[in-house]
Structure 1
Amino acid sequence: MTTLPTTTGATPRPLPSARAPAPLRVRAVLWRLRLLCAAVLLGAAAGVVVHALRPPPPATVPVVTLAHDVPAGTVLAPGDLVVSALPPAAAPVSALSSTSAAEGRSTAVDLPARTPLVATMLVDATLTGPTGTVVVAVRLDDPAVAALLEPGLRLDLVAARHEGGPGETVARRALVRPAPPGADLPDGLLGGGSADTGPPVLVAVTPDEAVRIAETSLSARLVAVVVP
């Protein structure tokens, strides 16, 4: 009987692994990533379409507007002004586009917040008033009252006769105007009096009211009544 030779217990070597060719590996990776690539490409295409279909932003122009309500006679400061972007159709003709064009100027009339400013709404801080008015300087009977009056207030001016009797209203809703910077108003202005009677007050009145004030200035005392 023939006996087969036995092994000594040594472990046989594993067979060497075979690597796939490089092009095949690349194709396999690309195949696995095909869905991700497709999603990215579809997203990019959708973004391009949305951007192409989106309407362009509406055209606007810069316009200077008021940050808050401003009474007549206010000298405008940077905090009073805002540059807003308005559609061209909503911007008034000759609207101011830069705050520098309004700073240091006075409002000719009461203006609400967000009002677009145009040149005709403003006047220089000189002896000027709203359209249709003239500016006169009056001396009031009470110097303390004159010292308290601020630009933008509205006054009724009443002429009180020295000899007594009923007073006469010579101006209604006269607008107190700011004095020009550094101005030294002379004596002998409307309202009479001397330098001892206190500083004169600049007011914007109608031409007819200016005549009545002049006619009563020598024979009456002027009293100011603040009105809304």
Structure 2
Amino acid sequence: MALLTPASAPPRRATDERPLPPPLPHVRGAARARARSALWRFRFLLAAVCLGVATAATVEALRPPAAATLPVVVLAHDVGAGAVLAAGDLVVADVPADAAPDGAFRSPDDAHGSVAAVDLPARLPLAPTLLAGTGLAGPTGTVVVAVRLDDPAVAELLEPGLHLDLVAARLEGGPGETVARRALVRPAPGAGTPSGGLLGAAPADDGPPVLVAVTPEEAVRIAQASVASRLVAVVVP
């Protein structure tokens, strides 16, 4: 009796184990062709980008260096001729060094209390040639007179640049009279030195005189009122 056994598989040939062949050359060539086609379609955009980068680099290379600046005192706002400069009128700002005038002030304290010689615009660098100083002078059209107030304590509190209404109160009583309006307080040169003249220093009870700039007509009224009246100062805006 014969036994039947399954037939064994035929042996594998060496040729069946070889790796797959690489892609055909025409596949890689098609990819390169598509890339070249895309570059050709966007050639103007690429050219514009390259041109922009080159232009920006050229401008940056040719840009001049930043101008040197100098911190100087300038006006915070417009100031009229004859105005006494106060702290709020002055600020320090950096301006081009070639735009700063000779002798320009570097600190607000250098110009504080000075008088504008002409109308001055805001942001203008200040120099001594633009100011009238603090001498015995007032705005154009005014004269400076010395006034001795009835209350010496008030006179010591008044600062240059304030405006006063001067009221004459009669010694014998009766209604007072305003002899000057918005009189401008001026700096007193040599403040602190005795002012008694030939007869010695003035009595301490009289207090220091106050220099004010008024119109010529007001100066006459002040002189007349000082003979028989007491002068009272009212600070006004």
TM-score w.r.t. the length of structure 1 is 0.57
What is the aligned partner in structure 1 of residue 229 from structure 2? 220
What is the aligned partner in structure 1 of residue 131 from structure 2? 122
Q: 2:142 aligns with which of 133, 137, 140?
A: 133
User: Distance in 2 between the 1:120 and 1:144 partners?
Assistant: 36
Q: 2:151 aligns with which of 139, 142, 146?
A: 142
What is the identity, as a one-letter code, of the residue corresponding to 1:82? V
In the TM superposition, residue 158 of structure 1 has moved relative to its aligned partner by 0.7
- Does 2:84 correspond to 1:82? no
- Please tell me whether the aligned partners of residues 133 and 205 of structure 1 are also in contact (alpha carbons under 8 angstroms): yes
What is the aligned partner in structure 1 of residue 104 from structure 2? 98
Q: 1:155 aligns with which of 161, 164, 172?
A: 164
Within a 5 Å distance, the mapping from 1:1-228 to structure 2 comes to 45-47=54-56, 49-50=58-59, 64-67=73-76, 72-74=83-85, 80-85=90-95, 98-99=104-105, 103-104=110-111, 106-108=113-115, 114=123, 117=126, 122-182=131-191, 184=193, 186-187=195-196, 194-228=203-237
In the TM superposition, residue 227 of structure 1 has moved relative to its aligned partner by 0.5
Change (3 A) 1:165 1:194: farther
Q: Alignment identity in percent?
A: 62
Structure 2 counterpart SS, 1:186: coil
In the TM superposition, residue 106 of structure 1 has moved relative to its aligned partner by 2.9
TM-score w.r.t. the length of structure 2 is 0.55
What is the aligned partner in structure 2 of residue 16 from structure 1? none
Change (3 A) 1:171 1:115: farther
- Please tell me whether the aligned partners of residues 73 and 107 of structure 2 are also in contact (alpha carbons under 8 angstroms): no
In terms of Rg, which structure is larger? 2
Structure 1 counterpart SS, 2:227: coil
Unmatched tracts of structure 2, length 5 or more: 1-49
- Please tell me whether the aligned partners of residues 156 and 174 of structure 1 are also in contact (alpha carbons under 8 angstroms): yes
Q: Which has the larger share of helix? A: 2
Change (3 A) 1:136 1:195: farther
What is the identity, as a one-letter code, of the residue corresponding to 1:198? G
Residue deviations 1:64-117 (CA, integer Å, cap 9, x gap): 5125799943467xx94435548x9xx9xxx77711698256343698964554
Aligned residues: 177
Unmatched tracts of structure 1, length 5 or more: 1-40
